[in-house]
Amino acid sequence: GAVVSQHPSWVICKSGTSVKIECRSLDFQATTMFWYRQFPKQSLMLMATSNEGSKATYEQGVEKDKFLINHASLTLSTLTVTSAHPEDSSFYICSARTSGRGQFFGPGTRLTVL
């Protein structure tokens, strides 16, 4: 149990395009989902926290208009990188939390913006 999937696992796009990444909790309902990114040789850094049905809370320095988060249901959260640029190339990973069971991670999405 407690499986979190992400789609796609990798994506290459042109500068200026938008990319949507999905995070799903497959066998449990996630009250909260988190989005992280990791630049090479750096730690996973929290970008935002999203609760189902409400607006996401963004960490300092993360542009909410650039990284759109939608948490439409208890099993799905999406992160859309709008007008992606090469500096947005990174590894994006989500995690899902359910009360009493801790936090479970997806396998991540590698984004490369050309």
Footprint of another protein (CB under 8 A): 3-4, 9, 32, 34, 36, 41-46, 49, 93, 97, 102-108
Q: Residue written as tokens 């995690």?
A: 95
The distance of closest approach from Cβ of residue 77 to another protein in the complex, given in angstroms and rounded to an integer, is 15
Residue the block writes with tokens 């630049």: 39
E strand residue ranges, 39-107: 45-51, 57-58, 67-73, 76-81, 90-98, 102-105
We find the least distance from the C-beta atom of residue 29 to another protein, in angstroms, to be 16
Q: Toward another protein, which CB reaches closer, 22 or 82?
A: 22
CB of 15 to another protein, least distance (A): 26
Nearer to another protein, 26 or 114 (CB): 26
d(CA 114, CA 105): 27
* Residue number, 59 or 63, with CB nearest to another protein: 59
DSSP-based three-state secondary structure for 87: helix
